[in-house]
């Protein structure tokens, strides 16, 4: 329906403003009140299901979406093989987020000021990276996902590329995946509801203590390896065990070491409140502390030392309100902690394995599939520094994020969200001069997939 | 000129008059549905409520079954078979006699199990309460629920032991009841009538191919199969044989049909030992 906005010159601006405001509010409420949501449109196109069937709010999965994913992107209704699709069907989705953002950091070493620290703020229009998600089934019970992904300059890499053999021996408890894939995190960073520079990742999924050289244990990064997984028919109970090359998913990075990611979880039907889940995980293994080089090019990783991260997580629903809880304890070898290559070089005096504890609580309020509010509070606390001379709180992090996503129209073929977010991260003693560092992000974006 | 000027209003009036019953019918349906928002379902200890099921319906079901439950959601046009029109109150998977409403458990089970060979997935991942609420919401679409009660579930006698004689008797029933006309002599869904079958909405429908799957549209157990031909699949060409087939004969038919399915079963082993051949669609005189 067209809104009758008067065009007479006599009409005062305030009246126009009022009418526009009311119209906007009415339109917002009208659209927010309607149904359904959006998803990876390639799957929506394939199965003719509303996107909200799989997503609490896109891209966060609900229980049905989790089961669909656990089944290898299959509904198990006999129509999963691509032979059932119209030959013109193309299992591809593009996702990108044009945005306006503001970044602020309180202490940056400025060359023109002789290296003195200054607060730096910049803002402007920008693009996110681009994900090209192509996934689905190659045949009944053989699924795949390939994600050529570009940063916002257009430089591409393979974010994921895997094939999965589903329901081996006709059992949902036996599935094998090989390639580069996201670790089996129920609390997925790839489907997180925050996008800004500071808020667009979980701190704990990438945490490295100050002075630590172990970049191979990032739970949030897709890894190269093979994964055995299984689940009950409704995915209430699930497990996975992955064996990974310790190269943090980087192709062509020479590494002869391996790590493992193990997780298990159990969900509970809590009646009208929803379906809650609790689980545990362990990421442990060895990784090289240095590389032999040939012409300055690394040719093989050496001096393997160990690391581990372990913890628990939970998803708890109170009807429209839900809480995501995550806890992690981390440990790195003292060689990593002090960036000492294990090639015979002695550890610094008093060196010890750094440890830390951390967690976050993320709260969502899903007013309806079209309007979604969130906050996340995350804390990381060092419990032991690699060098006793370091301040005990060096590298501690406090991170807070809040925002909302509004899905203005509902359509089963594309996803679109107006994304608003503010995030602030404080870290102890990590400015160039060793002072506390505070950085914040504001982002308004149009997040869409088609 | 004058005549021309009259055409517009006259045409408009006619259009409005013709449209009135249609609009009225649609409004009545919506009004009736609104009045039935107090609908409940009872599944075991669970009580489902239509008003609570609305949210889940709009999240999961509306894209196919439509806002009014009439099977005209935005995706319906691409689907084969088409989504169920709930306003008719006709359901295939029932434990109740043909022509009657299903029990709440029947609809609840269908939601959990999904419908094989269609776009209806298994909604087992939803909470039990959510599914019970959905049953109540599905019921609120049809005025049948305002005036009728669900039929009484049919009696299913205990499953007898499968024997060679029972399998042979089942095959004879398959021949006598002319199941092969739709399902084909080997049960591959390619009988002489297969291509001309339509459902109650005049949409083409294919008979079940027993060689494809171990389960059926309405379940996977022997009891489920027994139920299918004793209750019929209302809204499809599959009739109920409750009036023509005795329970013992129905079990024989179950055993025979199981021999066609890919799974390993005692019935299949016996059939192999018997060297069972497909039925002959044109038996010699005196044979049945």
Is the pLDDT at A23 greater than 80? The verdict is no
pLDDT, tens digit only, all 288 positions of chain B = 344 444 444 444 444 444 444 444 444 467 777 788 889 999 999 999 999 999 999 999 999 999 999 999 999 988 888 899 999 999 999 999 999 999 999 999 999 999 988 889 999 999 999 999 999 999 999 999 999 999 999 999 999 999 999 999 999 999 999 999 999 999 999 999 999 999 988 889 999 999 988 888 899 999 999 999 899 999 999 999 999 999 999 999 999 999 999 988 899 899 999 998 888 877 655 444
Contacts of B121 in chain A (CB under 8 A): 47, 49, 64, 75-77
User: Which one of B52, B59, B127 has the shortest CB-CB distance to A53?
Assistant: B59
CB-based contact A412 B63, cutoff 8 Å: yes
CB-based contact B59 A35, cutoff 8 Å: yes
Q: What are phi and psi of A251, to 5 degrees?
A: -70, 155
Q: Tokens for A68?
A: 């669909």
Angstrom distance (rounded) from CA A218 to CA A228: 20
Q: CB contact, 8 Å: B143 with chain A?
A: no
CB-based contact A50 B62, cutoff 8 Å: yes
For A52, the closest chain B residue by CA position comes to B59
Q: What are phi and psi of A110, to 5 degrees?
A: -105, 125
Residue with tokens 């998977």: B93
- What is the rounded radius of gyration, in angstroms, for the C-alpha atoms of chain B? 23
Chain A residues touching chain B at CB-CB below 8 Å = 35-37, 47-50, 52-53, 63-64, 66-67, 75-79, 233-236, 269-272, 274-275, 368-369, 411-412
Contacts of B129 in chain A (CB under 8 A): 269, 271-272
- Using omega within 30 degrees of 0 as the cis cutoff, is the peptide bond preceding B139 cis? no
User: Which one of A35, A67, A78 has the shortest CB-CB distance to B62?
Assistant: A35
Q: Tokens for A213?
A: 């050289």
CB-based contact B126 A47, cutoff 8 Å: no
CB pairs under 8 A between A and B: 91
Q: CB contact, 8 Å: B269 with chain A?
A: no
User: Which one of B62, B118, B129 has the shortest CB-CB distance to A36?
Assistant: B62
CB-based contact A235 B63, cutoff 8 Å: no
Query: How many separate helices (H) and strands (E) can be counted in chain B?
Result: 11, 2
CB-based contact B127 A48, cutoff 8 Å: no
CB-based contact A48 B64, cutoff 8 Å: yes
pLDDT, tens digit (0-9, with 9 covering 90-100), for B223-236: 999 999 899 999 99
For B75, the closest chain A residue by CA position comes to A48
pLDDT, tens digit (0-9, with 9 covering 90-100), for A180-204: 999 999 999 999 999 999 999 999 9
Angstrom distance (rounded) from CA B20 to CA A45: 37
Contacts of A269 in chain B (CB under 8 A): 127-129
For B125, the closest chain A residue by CA position comes to A234
Alpha-carbon distances of A423 from A206, A328, A375, A393, rounded to whole Å:
17, 21, 9, 22
- Using omega within 30 degrees of 0 as the cis cutoff, is the peptide bond preceding A408 cis? no
Angstrom distance (rounded) from CA A390 to CA A219: 26
Residue of A49, A277, A320 to mutate, testing the B interface (most B Cβ within 10 Å of its Cβ): A49
Angstrom distance (rounded) from CA A240 to CA A227: 7
Best CA proximity match to A19, nearest among A34, A8, A35, A32: A8
- The alpha carbon torsion through B239, B242, B247, B251 (nearest 10 deg) reads 0
Residue of A43, A45, A50 to mutate, testing the B interface (most B Cβ within 10 Å of its Cβ): A50
Q: CB contact, 8 Å: B115 with chain A?
A: yes
* 3-class state of residue B104 by DSSP: helix
């Amino acid at each position: 329906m067209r809104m009758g906005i008067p065009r007479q010159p006599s009409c005062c601006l305030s009246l126009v403003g009022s009418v526009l405001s009311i119209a906007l509010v009415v339109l917002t409420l009208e659209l927010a009140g309607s149904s359904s949501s959006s998803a990876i449109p390639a799957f929506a196109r394939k199965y003719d299901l509303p996107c909200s069937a799989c997503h609490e709010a896109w891209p966060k999965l609900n229980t049905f979406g989790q089961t669909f994913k656990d089944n290898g992107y299959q509904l198990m209704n006999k129509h999963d093989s691509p032979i059932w699709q119209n030959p013109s069907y193309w299992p591809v989705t593009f996702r990108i987020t044009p945005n306006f953002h503001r970044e602020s950091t309180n202490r940056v070493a400025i060359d023109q000021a002789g290296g003195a620290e200054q607060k730096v703020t910049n803002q402007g229009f920008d693009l996110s990276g681009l994900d090209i998600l192509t996934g689905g089934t190659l045949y009944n019970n053989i699924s795949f996902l390939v994600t050529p992904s570009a940063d916002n300059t257009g430089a591409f890499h393979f974010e994921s590329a895997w094939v999965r053999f589903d329901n081996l021996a006709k059992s949902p408890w036996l599935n094998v995946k090989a390639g580069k894939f996201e670790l089996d995190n129920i609390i997925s960073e790839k489907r997180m509801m925050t996008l800004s520079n500071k808020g667009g990742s979980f701190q704990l999924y990438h945490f490295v203590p100050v002075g630590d050289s172990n970049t191979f244990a990032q739970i949030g990064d897709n890894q190269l390896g093979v994964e055995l997984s299984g689940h009950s028919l409704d995915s209430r109970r699930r497990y996975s065990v992955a064996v990974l090359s310790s190269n943090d998913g980087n192709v062509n990075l020479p590494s002869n070491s391996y790590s493992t990611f193990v997780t298990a979880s159990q969900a509970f039907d809590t009646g009208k409140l929803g379906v809650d889940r609790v689980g545990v995980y362990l990421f442990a293994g060895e990784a090289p502390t240095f590389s032999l080089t040939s012409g300055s090019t690394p040719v093989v990783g050496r001096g393997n030392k160990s690391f581990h991260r372990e913890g628990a997580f939970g998803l708890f629903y109170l009807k429209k309100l839900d809480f995501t809880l995550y806890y992690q304890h981390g440990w790195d070898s003292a060689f990593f902690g002090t960036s000492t290559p294990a090639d015979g070089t002695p550890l610094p005096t008093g060196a010890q394995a750094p440890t830390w504890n951390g967690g976050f609580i993320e709260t969502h309020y899903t007013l309806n599939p079209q309007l979604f509010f969130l906050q996340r509070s995350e804390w990381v606390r060092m419990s032991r520094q690699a060098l006793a001379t370091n301040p005990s709180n060096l590298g501690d992090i406090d991170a807070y994020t809040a925002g909302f996503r509004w899905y203005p129209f509902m359509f089963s073929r594309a996803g679109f969200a107006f994304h608003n977010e503010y995030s602030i991260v404080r870290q102890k003693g990590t400015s160039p001069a060793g002072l506390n560092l505070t950085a914040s992000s504001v982002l308004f974006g149009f997040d869409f997939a088609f | 000129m004058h005549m021309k000027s009259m055409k517009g209003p006259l045409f408009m009036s006619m259009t409005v008059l013709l449209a009135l019953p249609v609009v009225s019918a649609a409004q009545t349906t919506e009004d009736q549905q609104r009045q039935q928002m107090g609908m409940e379902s009872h599944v075991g200890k669970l009580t489902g409520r239509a008003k609570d099921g609305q949210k889940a319906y709009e999240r999961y079901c509306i894209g196919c079954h439509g806002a009014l439950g009439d099977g005209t959601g935005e995706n319906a046009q691409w689907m084969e078979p088409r989504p169920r029109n709930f306003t008719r109150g006709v359901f295939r998977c029932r434990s109740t006699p043909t022509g009657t409403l299903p029990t709440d458990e029947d609809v609840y089970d269908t939601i959990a199990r999904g419908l094989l060979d269609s776009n209806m997935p298994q909604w087992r991942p939803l909470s039990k309460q959510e599914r019970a609420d959905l049953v109540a919401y599905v019921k609120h679409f049809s005025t049948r629920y305002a005036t009728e009660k669900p039929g009484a579930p049919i009696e299913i006698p205990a499953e007898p032991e499968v024997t060679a004689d029972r399998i042979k008797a089942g095959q004879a029933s398959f021949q006598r009841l002319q199941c092969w006309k739709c399902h084909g002599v080997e049960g591959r869904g390619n009988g002489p009538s297969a291509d001309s079958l339509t459902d109650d909405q005049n949409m083409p429908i294919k008979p079940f191919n027993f060689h494809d799957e171990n389960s059926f549209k309405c379940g996977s157990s022997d009891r489920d199969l027994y139920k299918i031909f004793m209750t019929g699949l209302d809204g499809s060409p599959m009739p109920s044989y409750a009036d023509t087939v005795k329970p013992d004969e129905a079990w024989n038919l179950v055993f025979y049909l199981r021999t066609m399915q890919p799974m390993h079963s005692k019935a299949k082993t016996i059939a192999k030992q018997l060297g069972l051949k497909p039925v002959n669609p044109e038996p010699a005189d005196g044979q049945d």
